[in-house]
Structure formats: structure tokens, C-alpha cells
């Protein structure tokens, strides 16, 4: 079963022409789905619709088999859909602990909250190691892991990640993608938007290429990576150029 599904969604801003024009995607349990596509294609808009920040003009948003079309962000979070925003959203003047526990604000049961805090510390060791540090003292990649940990405090079924590698160097980017896999292996479905398309598809189970507000092509991520035409158009060149014939 899909944890979240967008079906034939039309969505846009104000009176402007729709950005998404009949877009569909399904994120199966225990999988990472990566959305790629050119700038302005509507990738972040998909995450806004999936998180309830933007209501679709038509189409459906189904979470865990229930139609939640038009539900706002609070209801979507309560239904198990968490969003990790683009850029850095940690509170720098607060400790890592305070940042992470903020994610569990809606978890009333103290035992459950303590259990979740232990879970995220185990999943992201750096979060546990720096638990009492000010979040602003951490590196960009470490801060991103604090954001991941914060989003997992409510034990979401789905995490939406908007460009998690933005602003990170290649080493930190690798760590972040490793952590995305750990999230998935811990049972969270992940819908990922990335500029770093090739690297993201290497991590993902399924890929979906978005162009002109629709799905251009979708399928197993390794198949998209191997497609030379997609490589040229969307992934910044072919995967393995043959040496020129002499």
C-alpha cells in the first residue's frame, strides 16, 4: 500500500496558471521516492500539496488509504505526514535537545516522548552526541540531521524532504543521503526533492521526473539513472560517457 498518494493533482498559486497539471505520484511504505526535474517544474509545489500547505484545485491527496484532500498542515501532520523544509530551520540559540523536543510538542505522553527521543538519538548518533550543544554550533550537515530527528519525533509514516543536501559539501551530502536510507530502513516512507538529482536517484528506490507540471517518466530509480536521454536532459549528462572513437 502507498503511504501517501497524489492523484491527478492540479495546483498553483493565486490566479496564475496551474503549476501542477494532472500530477500523480505514490510513495509505497518502506521506500524512498525521488522527484527530479528542471528548475521551476513544480517539485517544491508537490511537497506543499503533500504537506497540506497548498490545497489542490482538483485531484486527490490520499494518506494511508484515506482521502485527506484539502486538509491543512496540522491535519496532515496528525495523519502522519511530516515536512522538512529547504534550507536550515534549526533554532540556533537553542540546544539540540530543545530543537528535537519541539518536534514532539504534540506528543502528550511523556514516556512516548522519551521513547521517541531515544529512537532519534540512536538513529542519528551525532544528534545524541551533541544533545546539549547549541544547535548553531553544529555544521550544516549536522543541523540537517537535527531537523530529520525533529521531524521523526511524531513517528510519521511519511517524511517529505525538500532539497536536504542544499548548501552542503559532498561529504556532508553523502552523510545526509545515508541518513535518508536509515530513515527508510526504520520504516518511514520518504518523498524527496533534490537538485542533486543523480545522487538522489542513487539513494532512491523509485524516481519520478516532473516536467511542465506532469510526470514525464517514472520507474525504478536505477532504470532512470541508466536512461541516456534522461541523463542528458535532467541529470547533467550521461552516466558513463564512452570514450570518443579514434
Ligand X SMILES: Nc1ncnc2c1ncn2[C@@H]1O[C@H](COP(=O)(O)OP(=O)(O)OP(=O)(O)O)[C@@H](O)[C@H]1O
| Dihedral (Cα; 199, 19, 26, 223), 10-degree rounding | -40
For the residues of 156-202, what is the DSSP string, one character each?
-SEEEEE-TTTT--HHHHHHHHHHHHHHHHTT-EEEEE-SSHHHHHH
Residues 12 to 41 in contact with ligand X, rule: CB under 6 A: 13, 19, 37, 39-41
Give residues with Cβ within 8 angstroms of 99, minimum separation 6. Answer: 90, 91, 135, 146, 150
For ligand X, the binding residue among 6, 27, 33, 42 (CB under 6 A) is: 42
Q: Is 218 helix (H, G, I), strand (E, B) or coil?
A: strand
Q: Is 45 in the site for ligand X (CB under 6 A)?
A: yes
* Binding track over 120-149 against ligand X, x by CB under 6 A: ------------------------------
What nine digits make up the cell of 19?
503549476
Q: In angstroms, what is the minimal distance from the CB of 20 to ligand X?
A: 8
* Alpha carbons 54 and 42: distance in angstroms, whole number: 12
Nearer Cβ to ligand X, position 107 or 206? Answer: 206
Which range, of 42-50, 71-79, 93-101, 236-244, touches ligand X by CB under 6 A? 42-50
Q: Is 196 in the site for ligand X (CB under 6 A)?
A: no
- Minimum CB separation of residue 120 from ligand X in Å reads 27
Retrieve residue 201's grid coordinates.
536517484
Nearer to ligand X, 61 or 120 (CB): 61
Minimum separation from the CB atom of position 81 to ligand X (A): 18
Taking the least distance from each CB to ligand X, the nearer of 39 and 132 is 39
The binder of ligand X chosen from 11, 25, 33, 44 (CB under 6 A)? 44
Q: Which of 64, 56, 76, 63 is nearest to 9 (CA)?
A: 56
**Residues forming the site for ligand X (CB under 6 A):** 13, 19, 37, 39-45
Amino acid at each position: 500500500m502507498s503511504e501517501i498518494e497524489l492523484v491527478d493533482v492540479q495546483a498553483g498559486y493565486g490566479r496564475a496558471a496551474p503549476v501542477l497539471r494532472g500530477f500523480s505520484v505514490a510513495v509505497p511504505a518502506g521506500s524512498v521516492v525521488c522527484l527530479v526535474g528542471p528548475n521551476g517544474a513544480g517539485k517544491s509545489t508537490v511537497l506543499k500539496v503533500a504537506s497540506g500547505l497548498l490545497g489542490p484545485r482538483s485531484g486527490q491527496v490520499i494518506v494511508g488509504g484515506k482521502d485527506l484532500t484539502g486538509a491543512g498542515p496540522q491535519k496532515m501532520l496528525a495523519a502522519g505526514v511530516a515536512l522538512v523544509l529547504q534550507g536550515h530551520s534549526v533554532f540556533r540559540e537553542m540546544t539540540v535537545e530543545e530543537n528535537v523536543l519541539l518536534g514532539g510538542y504534540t506528543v502528550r505522553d511523556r514516556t512516548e516522548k522519551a521513547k521517541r527521543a531515544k529512537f532519534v538519538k540512536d538513529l542519528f548518533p551525532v544528534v545524541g552526541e551533541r544533545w546539549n550543544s547549541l544547535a548553531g554550533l553544529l555544521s550544516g550537515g549536522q543541523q540537517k540531521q537535527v531537523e530529520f530527528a525533529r521531524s521523526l519525533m511524531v513517528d510519521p509514516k511519511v517524511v517529505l524532504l525538500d532539497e536536504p543536501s542544499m548548501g552542503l559539501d559532498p561529504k556532508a551530502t553523502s552523510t545526509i543521503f545515508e541518513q535518508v536510507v536509515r530513515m527508510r530502513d526504520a520504516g518511514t516512507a520518504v518523498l524527496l526533492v533534490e537538485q542533486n538529482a543523480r545522487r538522489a536517484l542513487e539513494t532512491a528506490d523509485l524516481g519520478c521526473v516532473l516536467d511542465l507540471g506532469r510526470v514525464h517518466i517514472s520507474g525504478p530509480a536505477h532504470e532512470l539513472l541508466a536512461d541516456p536521454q534522461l541523463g542528458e536532459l535532467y541529470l547533467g549528462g550521461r552516466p558513463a560517457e564512452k570514450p570518443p572513437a579514434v
